[in-house]
Amino acid sequence: MNIIHIQTLSKTYDGVVEVHAVDNVSLSIEQGEFTAIVGPSGSGKTTLLNMIGGLDSPTSGHIKVEGTDITSLSKNELIDFRLQNIGFVFQSYNLIPVLTAQENVEFVMLLQKRNKEERHKRTMELLEAVGLGGLQAKRPNQMSGGQQQRVAVARALAPKPKFILADEPTANLDSASTANLLDIMLELNRKENITFLFSTHDQRVIDRARRVITLEDGKIVSDVTRDRANAE
């Protein structure tokens, strides 16, 4: 089942020279995919991800998430849409520095106005799932980069999103933390059928993705799907 359907999506930046960051891209992402968007710097990975996440608006084309055309939503509707449907993992973790790991994970559910018991239960489950059980009272500055990124994954999963967008999630992590994070993400993908879509340069991530979409100059130049055994 297609969870994301992109039709002839383009993003052009006006300037002295017109830049086509994303150029006439069409693709579909199915529920449960573990997809990497790769390509050199400036190929349009992040722009594409931002548009899929409703953070940026396309110059033309449409993005449908489970049938909802997000390109027609207003700013406020987009904020609500993101809150209910998309989990984000950023390159530099971007946890709220004044909140503990537990509060960071609970934060998005709080925005969703979920009750306290539900929030607490899910937070503890997620922290356990990302291997951070017992570290719930730590603040971001008391955790390593890998731990922070795992909290970010837990936070992204907390609102029970339809899919997770991760922009260069391993860029600031060492090898061990990268491997650990990928294990966790793949485990969640396998067990709970969570859809992951991430941009990356990291060969370690590319090697473990089951679908690899390569962008160059804003265009898809290859779209390769591997079977699970080959990917992992």
Partner 1 sequence: MVFKLAWRNLWRNRRRTFITAGSVVLAVVLAVFMRSLQEGVYEKMIENVVGFYTGYVQIHKKGYWEEKTLENSFEAFPLISKAANQDDRVSATVPRLESFLLVAHEKTSQVAQIVGISPEEENSLTHLAAKVVEGHYLAPGQRAVMVGEGLADKLNLQIGDSLVLFGQGYHGVMASALLPVCAKLKFGSQELSNQISYVNLDVAQNMFAAPDRLTAYALNLSSAGSEKSVTKQLRSELPDEYEVMDWREMMPELVQSIESDRVGGYFTTGILYLIIAFGIFGTALMMIKERQYEFGVLTALGMKRGLLSQVMSMEMILMGMLGVLVGLAISVPLVIYFHYNPIVITGAAAEGYAAFGIEPIIPTAINPSLIFKQGLIVLGMTLLISIYPVVKIFQINPVEAMRV
Q: What are the residues binding partner 1 (CB under 8 A)?
A: 50, 53, 55-56, 76, 79-80, 82-84, 88, 90, 94, 96-99, 107-108, 110-112, 155, 159
The type of residue at 128 is E
Element (H or E) spanning 157, and its range?
helix 145-157
Q: What CA–CA distance (Å, rounded) separates 6 from 98?
A: 37
Compute CA distances 161 → 18, 46, 81, 127, whole Å.
35, 20, 10, 16
**3-state helix vs strand vs coil in the chain, percent to 5:** 40, 30, 35
Q: Looking at beta carbons only, is 108 or 129 nearer to partner 1?
A: 108
What are the strands of the beta sheet with 2-13, ordered from one edge? Answer: 19-30, 2-13, 60-65, 68-69
Running DSSP on this structure, what letter comes out for residue 59? S
CB of 113 to partner 1, least distance (A): 10
Q: Which is nearer to partner 1, 119 or 210 (CB)?
A: 119
User: Residue with structure tokens 């909802």?
Assistant: 68
Closest distance to partner 1 from the beta carbon of 93 (Å): 10
Least distance to partner 1 from the beta carbon of 86, Å?
8
| Smaller CB separation from partner 1, 169 or 209 | 169
CB of 47 to partner 1, least distance (A): 9
> Whole-number minimum distance, CB 155 to partner 1, in Å?
8
Q: Which is nearer to partner 1, 34 or 88 (CB)?
A: 88
| Number of other residues whose CB lies within 10 A of the CB of residue 132 | 22
Q: Nearer Cβ to partner 1, position 39 or 53?
A: 53
* E-state strands within the chain: 2-13, 19-30, 34-38, 60-65, 68-69, 86-89, 163-167, 195-200, 211-216, 219-225
Give 116 or 121: the residue with its C-beta nearer to partner 1: 116
Nearer to partner 1, 54 or 146 (CB): 54
Which residues in 192-226 are b (16+ Cβ under 10 Å) and which e? eebbbbbbbebeebeebbbbbbbbeebebeeeeee
Give me the least distance between CB of 78 and partner 1, in Å please: 9
